[in-house]
Amino acid sequence: MSSTDLTKPDLAKGGDLLTARGLHKSFGSHEVLAGIDLTVRRGEVVALIGPSGSGKTTVLRSLNLLETPDAGTVTLGEVSVDFAASVPRREALGLRDGSAMVFQHYNLFPHLTVLENVIEGPVRVQKRPRAEAIAEARVLLERVGLADKALVHPFKLSGGQQQRVGIVRALALRPRLLLFDEPTSALDPELVGEVLTVIKELAEEGWTMLIVTHELGFAREVADQVVFMDGGVVVEQGPPAVVLGEPREERTRQFVSRLLKPY
């Protein structure tokens, strides 16, 4: 079928897209990940929650190879890497192609326009035709309400707009898995909604997403699974109604109640 819209996710639902087993990572003597197991099924939204310093960002960064785990295996689609074995860097980097990340502080390229930010990966890395990449970028920008901002530089945008560009930059890579690291926690409160709305729409379209967030109401509404981490391990995971509603573990209960009643 030639009319496949590649700006939309692969809708073949079901089956495991991402499997991480026994991820370990230490910085010096500080063990940050002490054996993380994680599974994300195709088309599923997984919310990763947990106190600050529990290793959530390190999990995402490991999946995108911004950190190299000391041990553990990660399988994403057809690519599988065992970090305990001495894998060639080039081979491990194959993992990165399957996922794209949205950063807490957006990390847009300030010297490039919004459109250039979005097509940089498709054109320079994936070597796709420039005209095609631009057309696709414009569709994606339109979808997040930023069609008129294509030619401006990021510093002219609000935080919420910048983060929406961050999301479009990730989508333009045509990843199979989207990684979000607290996508709204750097935003002013009144700008949080516009970003969460975009993520919610992506979930409805069927994108597979792993989202680190402190927005428990959002997680409850959007996530299929909630994973609670503390001290470098997964303490509890399951459907949002269970993990957020009636957690089995005491540590989860404390964390959830503290976040729901912050004062």
Partner 1 sequence: MDLDWDLVQRAFWPILKWGLIGTIPLALICFALGLVIALAVALMRISGNPILAGLARGYVSVIRGTPLLVQLFVIFYGLPEIGLLWDPWPCAVVAFSMNVGGYAAEIIRAAILSVPRGQSEAAYMIGMSRWLAMRRIILPQAARVSVPPLSNTFISLVKDTSLASLILVTELFRQAQEIAAPSREFMVIYSEAAVIYWVICLVLSTGQSFLEKRLDRYVVH
- Could you list the residues that contact Mg ion (CB under 5 A)? 57
d(CA 170, CA 208): 13
Sign, CA dihedral 198-201-205-207, equals: positive
Among 50, 69, 72, 154, binds partner 1 (CB under 8 A): 154
Structure tokens at 40: 């994300």
Minimum CB separation from partner 1 for residue 255, in Å? 27
Minimum CB separation from ligand ADP for residue 262, in Å? 17
Among 38, 46, 59, 100, binds partner 1 (CB under 8 A): 100
Minimum CB separation from ligand ADP for residue 114, in Å? 27
247 binds partner 1 (CB under 8 A): no
Which of 186, 257, 211 has its CA nearest to residue 59?
A: 211
Q: Where are the beta strands (DSSP E) in the chain?
A: 16-27, 30-41, 45-49, 71-76, 79-82, 99-102, 177-181, 209-212, 225-230, 233-238
d(CA 252, CA 142): 39
- Out of Mg ion, partner 1, ligand ADP, none, what residue 64 binds, judged by CB under 5 to 8 A for its kind, is partner 1
129 binds partner 1 (CB under 8 A): no
Q: Which amino acid is at 53?
A: G
Nearer to Mg ion, 57 or 208 (CB): 57
d(CA 132, CA 5): 12
- Reported as half-sphere exposure (CB side, CA atoms, 13 A), residue 249 has a value of 15
d(CA 184, CA 263): 21
Q: Which stretch binds ligand ADP (CB under 6 A): 1-9, 54-62, 124-132, 148-156?
A: 54-62
97 binds partner 1 (CB under 8 A): yes
Binders of ligand ADP among residues 21 to 40 (CB under 6 A) are 27, 32
List residues binding ligand ADP (CB under 6 A): 27, 32, 50, 52-58
List residues binding partner 1 (CB under 8 A): 64-66, 96-97, 100-101, 103, 105, 107-111, 120-121, 124-126, 153-155, 169-170, 173
